[in-house]
Amino acid sequence: MSIMGNLYGFLGYYNHSRAKFDKAVDMYKKAEKLGIYKPNYLLSYGVLMLREGNFEKAKELFSTVLTDLPAKEEHKTMAKINISLAYWKLGDIDVAVEMMEEVHRKYRSGRVYGTLGYLLIQKGDLERALEYNLEGLEYDEDDPVILDNLGQIYYKMGQVDKAKDYFERAEEEKDDQAVTLYYLGLIYSQEGDKERAREKLDKALTCNITPLSAITIEDIKEALGNLD
């Protein structure tokens, strides 16, 4: 741990906040070599590793905040939320869900409902995912992630009309969620509205799609191809 380490950590955090991700990663790596003891810098570094798909590194960074530093409870909570995503992508979905359930017992927010609700979908436990996301909707009826989660659940259950309603509500709240736009594109296509379907799918391609997304660029391109 060093003053210079935290200085580079600050520079990483500064560039990260301005969406200069490559520069931020470079600064974080220098900070790590020198030693960082600021939890918020490690958390931000870990989020970038999630964004890049480096899940082992993300897990290591979040673990440091959880076990090696005298971090505030809010920092530990954020570390648990984010490390659950790393565990999921590393193939430990049960561990991911258990960690988020622990967070839920101590702390509730739209982020907690959205993350655990999403992980339950990825686990394939649709009935429980539905119950939990509906509870989340009572907590925040305008949360775009929870609305999108419900859209995905109903779509997977074959209740397309309900899915469409939730996806359209999610789009009203946040119009740049790739998953929302992708599923709306599929639904409009099924309804025979090819023009509107193409509009949504084309827009989905312009969104920020990370390794944590429920869909890929290839999924969107395939859906566009099917329109023809």
- What would the pLDDT profile of 154-164 be if each residue is shown by its tens digit? 999 999 999 99
Q: Is pLDDT at 76 greater than 70 in this prediction?
A: yes
Categorize the per-residue pLDDT at 42 as very low, low, confident or very high, splitting at 50, 70 and 90: very high
Sign, CA torsion 5/6/8/13: positive
Helix axes 178-190, 194-205, angle to 10 degrees: 160
What's the pLDDT at 68? 78
Q: Is the CATH number 3.30.1490.190 carried by domain 1-106? A: no
**What tokens were used for 132?**
């939990």
Q: Is pLDDT at 49 greater than 80 in this prediction?
A: yes
Categorize the per-residue pLDDT at 147 as very low, low, confident or very high, splitting at 50, 70 and 90: very high
pTM: 0.91
Helix (H, G, I), strand (E, B) or coil at 113: helix
